[in-house]
Structure 1
Amino acid sequence: MPRIQFRSDVITGADSLWTRLTGQKWSRHHVFVFIHTFMSYAMLHATRKTLSTVKPSLINTWMSNTSTPEGALFPTKQAAAEFLGGLDTGFMIAYAIGLYICGILGDNYNPRRLLAAGMMTSSIVVLSFGYLTETFHFYSPTLYAFLWISNGFIQSVGWPVEVSIMGNWFGHNARGAVMGAWSSCASVGNIIGTLITSHTLFLGYQYSFLIVCTLLFVYSFLVFFQLPSAPWEVNNEVPPEQMNEELENDETTERPPPIGFFRAWLLPGVIAYSLAYACLKLVNYGFFFWLPFYLHSGLHWPESYADALSTWYDVGGIVAAVIAGACSDHMRSRTPVVFTMLIISTFSLYIYAHSPESYNWNAFLLMIAGFFIGGPANMISSSITADLGKCDQLRGNAEALSTVTGIIDGTGSIGAAIGQWFIPSIQLWFGWDAVFYGFIVMIICTAVCLVPVLWKEQKARRTAHRSDEKWTRYHVRVFLHTFIGYVLLHANRKTLSTVKPSLITIWTDNSSTPNGPLFASKQTATEFLGALDTGFMITYATGLYICGALASLIASQTVSFGYQYPFFIICIAQFGYSILTYFHLPSAPWEVEELNVGRITKEAPSEERERPPPLGFFRAWLLPGVIAFSISYSCLKLVNDGFFFWLPFYLHNGLHWPEAFADALAIWYDVGGIIASIAAGALSDRMKSRTTLVFIMLLFSTVTLLAYCHSPESYSWNATILLIVGIFIGGPLNMIAGCITSDLGKSEALQGNAEALSTVSGIIDGTGSIGSAIGQWLIPLVHVWLGWNAIFYGFMILVVCSALCISPVLWRERKEHKLQKVAQRR
């Protein structure tokens, strides 16, 4: 939608930074629109949330013998719970019908007036439902049903017209970042409603309704008088002579004609996303309506305690809305982000279904579940809906934002309505675990609905951006031999870390040598192994300047025969593969040409055959980003090699698990690193920025380290959290050591005159190995003095340091990216 900007209204000062972050120039009208639409929908959602947070109190009131002259309103608590489920179902059905209708109204009438009227009416209806009925002790299932179902229809005016208003003011370049942050308004409203309830419940549940309804009623006046629904509404208030002076572009600001309801269904992606959102909203609103009740009824926590805990689900949704929106802007495609998060959410749901009854663990896992469920839900209902409502097929002839929003959110609400009807029955018949398994099935259905859209987008992307890189048999051979060659080298190193407990036992055994034990105590032997690791890393670093998982698996299968056998197997495999590497690995295209003298082949393009001159060691340090990434990698490799050398020992010594069991469990850290290497590499290509992805993963890794530090002594839990830790630590580590090092070694600063891949790789990995060497010396000492927890806290500090080291590079890249976008627009 074309936008107007008034020079007198444009925000100054931090404007340039804010514009870079959001991709949008902001005037005071943009600020009013963002704040008022955000807060108004948060208030609407807070009124809905209040019912779900006071369900236990309502049931107790209805079950009291004095609640009605005839006795209890319902014969059993289960009957009362089923009635509440029926209320939720009726609310969502009315809400769904209203969305279809209000979507059309929003495109034909003034959205601001519709929104203000809906907020005012909803506040009166909800006040009657929750406050007046309790104050006057008038309890009637029929009245409750009428009021709450009416509220569902009235509140349906909110989302379609608010998305329409936001889409009118914020352009496509800003839509992912801005709409992602804005779509967290529902989660913020949930938190507001929950916090109000948890702090007023001791006064009586009716006061929770009184407060939120008062806030909603007051805010409806602000919306009516302060919210400009579109640029053309602002134009009507500006004198023509002033407009001629202040308009920055000549594009039309007249309101375009609306689109028909049935034609909107035929827009590309609308049906697929509507069905997907129906499945996903069932899950999201299952948490919305029933999470506090589950925490109170299923886990037997006090009601106010359960209400406060449930806010962590919404916190995860808020964080995801911002990050996923910004990520999708960088990738220029939203469906892959949504699809990936949906797949991960199935695992987070399974884990939460079996979470321990601990406040901290429940809060953490709820935040993770909210992140991977709330994020896609907010993306579909805001950013993607806004894109679909302004798709290329309309060619500027029609405006369909409100209509498309009503279709998608309305279809989603039908799915949510069905879910609220089933949830209490499934809980009664099969238990809460069955509810969560049902959620997992619905998430899978959501992902399946998006497969055709994802396939279409990926196909179009491949056609538009077909890679110039063609693989020959030499490319395949180089990839395989270098991969397996380094795997075996790493397996050779890993073996020592997996057999440390056996070595210590032998060295401290009285019969191990004729003169008695080799070391006086196990602690002395442990410190000696730490010194060996330190010496190894120092010589390894020196060697780099001058010129994994497989080992754990082999060790876990062979250590029962004696610690010497893992060394034997790995060394034999490495020796054999060294011969294969010597005869079959072409190190560069010019080496292929030497093997094919006088013959020009398609497999070795001429522009690649001439070997460039090498780069000096000290000059390589001065390449942009080399110093920053070297220091960052030094901190990060200390952490990674801390796991590499000491994780099996920690599992055996700290958690007291058998050695072979500990070796097998340690593999999960490496599995996480493998997954992250592939996913992060592909994602960074789409984002066109590797530093941004590394920085984000490093920040997440601190949370995962804290979670692992306090993980329960369970194999399943340790394996799961180790996998996650491996993703967020191994991913950035492999990115720096692989993709980023390769990019730096072919920097534009070289201007094509030199090749520095090997030199830069040696510098970065060598500096990292120095940090690792220091770590292997300190880890056994810190373990003795302060315990294992201190080691994990130290790892967290080092990960933060690693992120800080690359922040200047990140800032420079973001600045260059912004300048490029400005140049492209010109």
Structure 2
Amino acid sequence: RYKFWVLVLTFLCYTSYHLSRKPLSVVKNVLGQNCTGTPHATVTDQNVDSEAHCAWAPFDGVNADQLLGTLDSAFLFAYAAGMFIRTSSEKGVFTILVLLKCMPFIDFCTIPWEISRPILSYPLGPAKSLVPSAKSLSTTSSISSYALFVVEIGLLCNIDSKPINEESLKDNNRVCVCVCDQVIFFHCSGPVAERVNLRYFLSLGMIFSGIFTYMFGIARNFRIHVFSYYLFIQVLAGFFQSTGWPGVVTCVGNWYGRKKRGLIFGVWNSHTSLGNILGSLIAGIFLDMDWGLSFIIPGVIIAVGGFLVFLTLVPTPEEVGCEDPDYHDDKGVRVNKHSFVNSSAMASERDEESHVADGDEEPLLPGTEAMGTRTMSSLASFTASREKAISFTDALKIPGVAEFSLCLFFAKLVSYTFLYWLPRYIKDKAHFSNTLSAYVSTLFDVGGIFGGITAGFVSDMSQMSASVCTTMLFLAGHLMFIYDRFGSVSIGVNVSLLVLMGFLVNGPYSLITTAVSAELGTHHSLRGNSRALATVTSIIDGTGSVGAAIGPLLAGLITKTGWDKVFYMLIASDICAMFFLVRLVKKEVRVWWISRRARY
């Protein structure tokens, strides 16, 4: 029952993540709609806040698409940066800085600090709050100018927590914060998801994601027309949204074995498309009535989901006394954690290693030994060593990680360009209403659900993940060209092509971010290291998220030259994604051909 509940809860969890990030793509049609021929089209100081005004400042100018594209990219770049968030010391102390800026920027680094009493208590360690004193702030700015909270949370049970002071804030090993043009960048060292309790990690990420989604929506009620406010909210929302993917993939990977993992993840990963669909429908309901509610409602939903995760999530079987899924390595030795091999891209690796003498075998990571020579006396030390989280460079050495990461860069660029710009494209090309454009765009995600399931099933059957991705990417490129040319002929043609395009575009993206990431993160070369999954997932999805950030930004810049140029950019991206899988496809085909000849 725990196993099933984890699958359901993580499904609902990540559905709410995507549900809360979707509204902006729908609301774009209202924020920056073309005012030509619309009543109250003239923008003046008197009517900029008017309910009847056709667009919303500052998105009512000729550069509306560029500004909206910047918001998309701010969110996604922060998301990508968050995927590589690190713990800030060897003892496992993670520092989070949240700066809520209400007044013009001042150099807060010069402000003296004082320590307040501990205000939080976590089972995993102590927590302290650091706030600027009222006296020190009064010399530089009013207290109302800033709400600044620094929380240091001990992530290990026996941490010798040292007091935080002005000197410790300057220590780059503890925290490095850069504030530039009202954008905050966070940098620490070592993946967080491997080192913290995933229940806290996910629940806090969901709650803060909900808060910042809510804050975007209330901008309408408070008549906020400052672009920097929206940019700032998007950066923080993207940062906290990055907690979702490494967390949910690791939880599911902890509970489910290798058997039919591609199919399981294919079905489970439909949460992405389902979240997009629900986000579009909810935003569409309030679009013409009150676009602020298009953000407020999803923000409340994900925050409530965060409380549910905090109360009910069981991240690992060990926490409730359940046995780990049974895994066996390539030598036949049973291991109680993820040690299975990516049988598609890595099948040839095993074939090549079989020709190497046992004395010449070297494990990928230092401190590990060949599984075939392990004795019962060495299992204890092996178990301890596999709990050490791997480094970024060690994860990159895993065969297939670099190729699939670069492939996902371009595949996610295509997928997220559709995610953020499809409703706008449908309205401009097919001349549908705002609400109808939002509803029709959901069919892309309907196709994506079936695409992800089909890709996972075919990958399980063929054991050729790279070949499955390449085939779907090849067909998707051709279909995008057809959709741009004939999609506006009729609503029936538009709907049919949209479903097929979602099937082919989201299939590879779904397969790489789920089953492939999970299998690479538990590659046999790690010798059962159970802490690698979140790191590999973060590398692959983080690299993809950089592409996801670039795609909508480029689309916003290119749209002024014509939508056909946007589609040419997407087709070129698909070609690049296929290029990075060529080596893996060749290996898979070679292994398939050898096995076929062996059968006959």
TM over 0.5: yes
CA distance in 1, matches of 2:34, 2:397: 49
Deviation at 1:72, TM superposition (A): 7.4
Q: Deviations over 1:257-298 (max 9, x none)?
A: 321122111111111111111111110001000000111233
1:184 aligns with 2:168: no
1:227 aligns with 2:313: yes
- Residue matched to 1:420: 552
- Residue matched to 1:67: 48
Change (3 A) 1:106 1:73: same
Q: Deviations over 1:341-382 (max 9, x none)?
A: 111111211110112332221111000000001011100111
- Residue matched to 1:384: 516
- Residue matched to 2:2: 29
CA distance in 1, matches of 2:424, 2:33: 13
Deviation at 1:50, TM superposition (A): 0.6
Change (3 A) 1:61 1:142: farther
Change (3 A) 1:232 1:257: farther
Deviation at 1:200, TM superposition (A): 2.2
Change (3 A) 1:353 1:161: same
- Residue matched to 2:195: 108
Give the alignment of 1:292-331 within 5 angstroms. 292-331=423-462
Change (3 A) 1:285 1:75: closer
- Residue matched to 1:48: 21
CA distance in 1, matches of 2:387, 2:571: 42
Secondary structure of 1:399 counterpart: coil
- For 1:178, give the aligned amino acid: I
CA contact (8 A) 1:191 1:314 kept: yes
- Residue matched to 1:157: 243
Change (3 A) 1:437 1:30: same
CA distance in 2, matches of 1:350, 1:190: 23
CA distance in 2, matches of 1:448, 1:248: 33
Deviation at 1:78, TM superposition (A): 3.1
Deviation at 1:201, TM superposition (A): 2.0
- For 2:538, give the aligned amino acid: G
- For 2:521, give the aligned amino acid: G
TM (normalized to structure 1)?
0.50
CA distance in 2, matches of 1:263, 1:201: 47
- For 2:241, give the aligned amino acid: Q
Q: Kindly tell me the number of residue pairs found equivalent between the two proteins.
A: 432
CA contact (8 A) 2:30 2:56 kept: no
Alignment partner of 1:78 out of 53, 62, 69: 62
CA distance in 2, matches of 1:367, 1:312: 5
- Residue matched to 2:255: 169
TM (normalized to structure 2)?
0.68
Q: Deviations over 1:628-683 (max 9, x none)?
A: xxxxxxxxxxxxxxxxxxxxxxxxxxxxxxxxxxxxxxxxxxxxxxxxxxxxxxxx
- For 1:46, give the aligned amino acid: L
1:39 aligns with 2:12: yes
CA distance in 2, matches of 1:436, 1:44: 27
Alignment partner of 1:127 out of 214, 217, 240: 214
Secondary structure of 1:296 counterpart: helix
CA distance in 1, matches of 2:470, 2:34: 43
Secondary structure of 1:339 counterpart: helix
Alignment partner of 1:98 out of 82, 96, 100: 82
Q: Deviations over 1:105-124 (max 9, x none)?
A: 11111122101100000100
Q: Deviations over 1:770-808 (max 9, x none)?
A: xxxxxxxxxxxxxxxxxxxxxxxxxxxxxxxxxxxxxxx
Deviation at 1:77, TM superposition (A): 3.7
CA contact (8 A) 2:33 2:60 kept: no
Deviation at 1:60, TM superposition (A): 5.0
Alignment partner of 1:407 out of 539, 553, 577: 539
- For 1:387, give the aligned amino acid: E
Unaligned runs of 5+ in 1: 1-27, 470-826
CA distance in 2, matches of 1:174, 1:274: 23
- Residue matched to 2:527: 395
- Residue matched to 1:264: 395
Alignment partner of 2:506 out of 360, 374, 381: 374
CA distance in 2, matches of 1:385, 1:135: 42
CA distance in 2, matches of 1:312, 1:35: 23
CA contact (8 A) 1:164 1:401 kept: yes
Q: Deviations over 1:61-80 (max 9, x none)?
A: 998543369x9734854312
CA distance in 2, matches of 1:105, 1:457: 34
- For 2:193, give the aligned amino acid: G
- For 2:3, give the aligned amino acid: H
Give the alignment of 1:5-16 within 5 angstroms. none
Secondary structure of 2:223 counterpart: coil
CA contact (8 A) 1:195 1:308 kept: yes
- Residue matched to 1:709: none
Change (3 A) 1:415 1:252: closer
CA RMSD of aligned residues (A): 2.6
Q: Deviations over 1:424-464 (max 9, x none)?
A: 221112x1011112111110110111001111222234445
Higher share of residues assigned strand: 2
Give the alignment of 1:493-532 within 5 angstroms. none
Secondary structure of 2:32 counterpart: helix
Higher share of residues assigned helix: 1
CA distance in 2, matches of 1:232, 1:367: 42
CA distance in 1, matches of 2:257, 2:61: 51
CA contact (8 A) 1:42 1:189 kept: yes
Q: Deviations over 1:690-727 (max 9, x none)?
A: xxxxxxxxxxxxxxxxxxxxxxxxxxxxxxxxxxxxxx
Q: Deviations over 1:515-560 (max 9, x none)?
A: xxxxxxxxxxxxxxxxxxxxxxxxxxxxxxxxxxxxxxxxxxxxxx
Alignment partner of 2:497 out of 346, 356, 365: 365
CA distance in 2, matches of 1:211, 1:76: 25
- For 2:498, give the aligned amino acid: L
Secondary structure of 1:106 counterpart: coil
1:335 aligns with 2:463: no
CA contact (8 A) 2:206 2:241 kept: yes
Alignment partner of 2:483 out of 346, 352, 356: 352
Say which structure, 1 or 2, has more relative contact order (CA 8 Å, 6+ apart).
2
Q: Deviations over 1:91-138 (max 9, x none)?
A: 1111111112268111111122101100000100110012x2111112
CA distance in 1, matches of 2:236, 2:527: 38
Mean alpha-carbon deviation: is it higher for 460-469 or for 408-417? 460-469
1:435 aligns with 2:566: yes
CA distance in 1, matches of 2:327, 2:74: 49
Give the alignment of 1:488-637 within 5 angstroms. none
Change (3 A) 1:162 1:72: closer
CA contact (8 A) 1:309 1:359 kept: no
CA distance in 1, matches of 2:82, 2:490: 41
CA distance in 1, matches of 2:473, 2:15: 25
- Residue matched to 2:405: 274
Alignment partner of 2:72 out of 88, 98, 101: 88
CA distance in 2, matches of 1:41, 1:67: 37
Give the alignment of 1:242-257 within 5 angstroms. 252=336, 256-257=387-388
Change (3 A) 1:252 1:167: closer
- For 2:192, give the aligned amino acid: L
Unaligned runs of 5+ in 2: 36-40, 87-189, 329-333, 338-382
CA contact (8 A) 2:213 2:298 kept: no
Alignment partner of 1:140 out of 215, 226, 233: 226
CA contact (8 A) 1:37 1:162 kept: yes
CA distance in 1, matches of 2:594, 2:5: 41
- For 2:404, give the aligned amino acid: Y
